[in-house]
Structure 1
C-alpha cells in the first residue's frame, strides 16, 4: 500500500512542468509551454489504469530526474528559450517522437570506460549534425557542443596513494589518483547534442543535469563543466576566404609554369645555352626528378639509409604520440605499457632521433665547407641555406593557413583546426624569420618546425667560426672550443636552474599539448640546448674529409664490426637510461648531468657508426644502408618531416569515437602517413623547392660567385648538376648507373 501511494505521488509530481522560485529573474512560478501538454495528460488520466501509469513512470524515471534537475537550476531570462526547448525535447522523448529520439540518441547518457582511460565521451556527431529534416523543420534544429568536465569529490576525503589496486577499495580513490606517468581519470570531454537556441552557459547546465543522474553523480562526484568553444551547427557556412584562393592560385600557376617549361626543355637544341633555356630547366619536371635519383659516391652512402629510416622512426613515434593524445578507449593500458614495456624505450625518449639529423647536418656541412680552397662569401652561403630550408616550410605553412581548415570535420575538428591554423596565421612570420624556437614558443606554428631555425642558426654559427679559423687559426680554435664546451654544459644548466626533468619524455601530459609544456619551451627547442650533436657531427665531417683518401685510417672488417656494435650499444644505452627516469627517483644534479650528456653521447655513437661504415667493411649493414632506393627517398625526407604531422593531426582530428590503441594499428597507420607524406614531399619538391633553389643557383652562377661544393642540407644534400657544380673526384650517377649490370630492365616494366 505504501509503495502504491509513493508511486502515485511521484506520478502526480512529474506531470506538472513548472520552474520554481529558484529562477533568478522572478520569484513567481513560471508556466512553460510544455506544461500545457502535462495538464492535458493529467485531465485524461482518469481513463488510464493506475498500474499502467506506474509502469510508464518506471520507464521514464531517468528522464523525469533529468527534468527535475533542469528545473531546479537557476536559469536566467536569456536562457529561457533553451530551457523551454529542452523541456519540449524531454516530453517528446517520453512520447518517443522521432526528432526527440534522434537528438537524444546522439548523446552519451552515461560516461563509459572512464576507468580504462576513455576521456572522450563524444556521442554520435554525424547523427546530431545531419537530421533528415534539417532544411524542412528549423524549429527542431540541434547543435553539437563540447564540454570539458572536471569531476570533484563531495565527501571531502583526502587523496591517498594507490600502490596496489584492489577490487574492494573505493572507486573514487582510483578516479582521483593521478601520477605523472598516467593520464588523469577525473577529466572528461563530453559531446552534447542540444537545441540550437542554447548558449554555452545553458549547455553547461544541461550536461550537469545529465551527469548528476549518472552513476558518477550518485557516487558523490560533482562535475565542474565549462563550454569554452563555439558549438557546431549544420547550417554554419564554411566560406572560402582569400587565403584559400591565393594558395590554389599559386599552386596552379606553379604547376602550369613547370609543365610549360618541361615541354620547352624537351624541345631544346643541344647547343642552346641561353638564359631563357636555363630558367626553363630550373622548372623542368623531368630534370628535377632526375636530380632526386643522383647518387654521390664519396664513401658515406650509409647516410642515405640512416636519414630516411630515421624520419620513418620519427613518423611512427609521432603517430603513436598523437593517437595516444586523442580519443582512445584503453588509455590507462597504453600508459602502463609505455611505462613498463620494452617498446617504450623507442617512444618515450625518441627525441634523440632528431639529434641524428643534427649530426648528419653538421657532418655534411663540415665535409662541404672544408673542401673550399677559398671560402666564399658567408652571406651567400647563409642565403642559400635559408632558401633551401624556407621554401618547403613556407609551402606547408601556407597550406595549413589556407587549405587545412577545410579538409575535415568532427567533434574535435574545430579544436584541432583552431590550434594549428590559428597558430600559423598568428606566427607564420616567426617561422620564416627563423625565430620560432625563441619567439611565441607557446603558440608555435607547426610544432615540429622548431628544428629548422635550430639548424639554420647552427649553420650560420659554423660558417662564421670556420671563417675565423681560416683567417686567424688560434682564434678560431679558441671560439670552437668554447662553443663546444658551452653546448654540453648549457642543457644541464637550464634543466638544473628550472628544475626540469632529466629528459623530455613523451608521456600523455606532453603529447596532449606540447606547446604548453615548460620543458619543451625552455630546453627542448632552443638552439643553445641542441647544439652539441651538430658540433660533434661537424668535427666528424672535418675528420672524414681530411682522411678519406688516406689508407692508414682504413679499418679491418673485425675492427669495423666491433666499432659498429659499440656504436649501437652506446645509442641503446642512451635511450634505455633516459626512459628509466620515468619510474625512478633521482637527484637534480643527476638529472642535469644526464640532460647535458645524453645527446652528445648519442651523437658520438652515431658518428662511430658512420665512420666505421665509411672506413671499413661492415657486411649486410653497410649494403643495406647504402641501398640505392634510399637515395631519392632520403632527399624527400625534409618534406616528409614537414608534412607528416599535418596528416596525423588531420586523421586524429576527424575521429568520431574512441578507437582501440595497439602497436600494430599504429605501425600500419604510420606506413600510410609515410607513403602519402613522401608523395606530398615529392610534389613540393617539383613545384617549389627545386625550381626556386635552381633559380638561386643560376643567379649565383651568373654573378660568378665560387660555390663549387654546395652547402649541405639537414635532410637532403644539395643536388649535383642544378644546385651545385660537379667535382672531378666525385662519382655520381642516375638510376641506370647504380643498378647491377646483369639486370635486364624491359621498357614495358
Structure 2
C-alpha cells in the first residue's frame, strides 16, 4: 500500500512538473483571459454595481495582436483567446450617472482593451446590486412542502416502529422507519443466498470507479472557473500521464455492464419459478422508476429551485445559476428519463445522462430477456450476435456522421462549454445506442455466469482468459493509454472503427473480471474488491452519483478571486467532494431511497 502511495505521489509530481512548462505563444502580448475585481467590497457601497461577463474580441483594423489571437484560437489545445471573461466593479472603476448597467459594463471593459487596440462585444453577462432577494416562487415552495412531507413520513414511520418494537404489522409505516432502514443499510448478509454472496466484489468495483468519475467531473467543473493560470489546463490535458482523464470515458461502460448483468442474472433466477410475460413490462419499468426517481428527481428538483439561492459571488450566476435554469426547463424531461434525447446540448447535472441511458437500455434489456424466454432461443449466440451488430451499427453511424471518441474532441474550450454543439458528444456519447453493446454484453455475462453456477463449469481451464483476469488492471489501463498512440490516426474509417471498439473492448475486459471474480477465482484485486466495507458504502452509490456534481459546483462557484490550479489542488477538491457526497448520501438513502423502495414493495409484494 505504501509503495502504491509513493508511486501515486511520484506520478502527481511528474504531472505537476510537466504542466509547469511555458506556453509556446507570447501570451503576455494579449489581454488576460480572466480578471476579477473584489466582489464583496464593491457591493458594500449603497450604489455598488458589479458585473461579470464574456466578451468577444474583434479588431476594426489590421492588428498583430488580433492575428496572434486568431492563431491561438485555431489551436484546440488552448482556450479560445478570442473571448475574455471579466468581473468588474463598475461603480468603482467607471463611476457614471448612466442607468444602463450593461452599457456601463461594456464601456468599462472597453477602456481596458483600448491599449491592445481591440474591441470587445458583450456576449453574456450578469450584474449585481444591493437589491433585496426575490421571495420564493411556486416551485421553490413546492420543494419545501415535499421535503417537509417526506420528513413527516419518516417521523411517523420511525415512531410507529419504536412503539411496536419493530414488530408492527403495517409494512407501509415500517417502510418509513429510519431505525429499520438503518439496519438494512448496515447489514452485510453474510448468511444470505450463496448466489448473491458471490457478487460481493461488484460493490467494491462501483466504489472504486466512482473515484475516477468524481475526479473527471472535478476537472470539468474547474474549467468553468475564472483561473489565474489557465495554462495549467491547456498543458495538463495533453500530458501523456493524464490520458485517463481524456480517454477514460469508456470506464462508464462498466456501470452499464454491471447494471445489466445484475438485472439479467436476477431475472434468470426469477424465471426459474415464474414465467416472463410481456404484460409484466410496465410493472418492471415502474419498479425501475421507483428505484431511481426519488433520489434522481430529488436532486434535480433541488437544483431547479433552491440551488441558485445557496450561494453568491461573481461566478455564481454564470455557473450554478445558469445550470439551475436548465434544470428547471428540463425537469419533466428528467422525470421521464428523456433528457439525453431532447435538448441534449443543455445539461442539468451532467452525470445524469447515465441514468437516462440506463433506463432506456433497461427497457431494451427487458424486452430481449422476455423474447428469449418466450421463443426459447439459445440466449448466448443471440446476445453475441446482438453485441456484434450493435458495435457495427455504431461504427457505421460514426463513419456517416463523422463522430469521434472523446479523446479526439477533448479540448479546454470544449470542456469549458460542456461539449455544447459537439455532435460526437450529444449524438453518441450520452445517447443509449452508444452504450448498447455494453448492455448486451451485461446480459450475455448474466447468462454465462448463470450457466457456470448451475453446472459448476471450471472456467479456470481457459488459461488465456484466466491470464487476462489476473492482469485486468494493467490491461484496462493499457487500453486507455493506447489512445496516446491511436490519436495520431485521423482518417474517417479509422476513427469510426476506433469509436466502435473503444467502449466494447473495455466492457469486454470488465466482463472477464466480473465473471471470474463472481465465481470465486482468487486474485489480489478480487480480495480488495470483496472487502466488507464496500458492501455498506456501495449502497450509497446512487445518491453519491446524483449529489457530487451539486456539491462540487457549490464549493467552487462561490469563489471571489481567480483560482490558481495545481495537480494537488484538483486532487484535494475531488477528495473533498467525495467526502461530503458520501456523508450527505446517508440521509438521502435512509430518508428517501429506502422508504420509496419499501413502499413500492409493500404495495406490490
* TM-score under structure 1 length normalisation: 0.70
Distance 1:362 1:486 in 2: 18
Matched residue SS, 2:460? coil
Q: Is the Cα contact below 8 Å between 2:384 and 2:444 reproduced in 1?
A: no
Describe the superposition over 1:334-383 as per-residue Cα deviations: whole angstroms up to 9, x where unpaired.
Answer: 322220231x1111122122111001101101110111222352222121
Q: Partners in 2 of 1:302 and 1:114 — Cα distance?
A: 53
Structure 1's 271 and 455: CA in aligned 2 closer, same or farther, altered over 3 A?
closer
Change (3 A) 1:370 1:393: same
Tell me the distance in 2 between the aligned counterparts of 1:444 and 1:174: 29
Give the distance between the partners of 2:213 and 2:353, measured in 1 at CA.
15
TM-aligned CA deviation for residue 243 of structure 1: 2.4
CA contact (8 A) 1:557 1:617 kept: no
Separation (CA, whole Å) in 2 of partners of 1:230 and 1:248 = 27
Shift of 1:628: 0.8
Distance 2:377 2:528 in 1: 42
8 A Cα contact 1:392 1:688, kept in partner: yes
Q: Which runs of 4+ in 1 moved over 4 A?
A: 112-118, 269-272, 475-482, 556-561, 579-582
Q: Confirm or deny: 8 A CA contact 1:254 1:688 kept in the other structure.
A: yes
Alignment of 1:233 with 2:126, yes or no, is: no
CA distance in 2, matches of 1:242, 1:567: 52
Is the Cα–Cα contact under 8 Å of residues 191 and 411 in structure 1 kept in the other structure? Answer: yes
Q: Is the 8 A contact 2:313 2:560 kept in 1?
A: yes
Q: SS where residue 180 of structure 1 aligns?
A: coil
Offset at 1:429? 0.6
Match of 1:125 in 2: 39
Residue equivalent to 1:149: 55
Question: Which aligned pairs between 1:590-669 and structure 2 lie closer than 5 A?
Answer: 590-669=494-573
Tell me the secondary structure at the aligned position of residue 50 of structure 2: strand
- The answer for the alignment partner of 1:289 in structure 2 is 182
Matched position secondary structure for 1:443: coil
Instruction: Provide, for residues 400-432 of structure 1, a one-character-per-residue CA deviation record: whole Å limited to 9, x for no partner.
Output: 112101111111211123321111111111111
Unpaired runs of 5+ residues, structure 1, are 1-111, 135-140, 159-169, 702-749
Residue 585 of structure 1: how far off its partner (Å): 4.2
Aligned residues: 560
Is 1:425 the equivalent of 2:335? no
Q: What secondary structure sits across from 1:146 in the alignment?
A: strand
Alpha-carbon distance in 2 for matches of 1:187, 1:579: 30
1:200 and 2:102 matched:
yes
- Mapped pair 1:389 → 2:292: yes
Tell me how far 1:116 sits from its aligned partner.
10
Alpha carbons 1:328, 1:661 under 8 Å: kept: yes
Deviation at 1:310, TM superposition (A): 0.6
Residue in structure 2 matched with residue 570 of structure 1 by the alignment: 475
Structure 2 match to 1:183:
79
Contact 1:327 1:655 in 2 (8 A): no
Greater helix proportion: 2
Q: 1:523 to 1:479 in 2, by over 3 A?
A: same
Q: d(CA) in 2 for partners of 1:201 and 1:155?
A: 23
The superposition leaves residues 523-542 of structure 1 with CA deviations (integer Å, 9 ceiling, x where unpaired) of 11111121111211211122
Cα deviation, 1:303-357, whole Å, max 9, x if unaligned, reads 1110011112100111022113322222223322220231x11111221221110
Q: Bigger shift: 383-392 or 288-297?
A: 288-297
* Paired position in structure 1 for 2:433: 528
By relative contact order (CA 8 Å, sep 6+), the higher-ranking structure is 2
1:486 counterpart residue number: 389
Taking a change above 3 Å as real, the CA distance of residues 661 and 205 of structure 1, as seen in their structure-2 partners, is same
TM (norm. structure 2) is 0.86
The structure that has the greater radius of gyration is 1
Q: Is the CA contact 1:563–1:612 (under 8 Å) kept in the aligned structure 2?
A: no
**Cα drift, residue 479 of structure 1:** 6.6
Query: Given that residues 126 and 318 in structure 2 are in contact (C-alpha distance below 8 angstroms), is that contact kept between their aligned partners in structure 1?
Result: no
1:447 aligns with 2:358: no
* Per-residue deviation, 1:515: 5.6
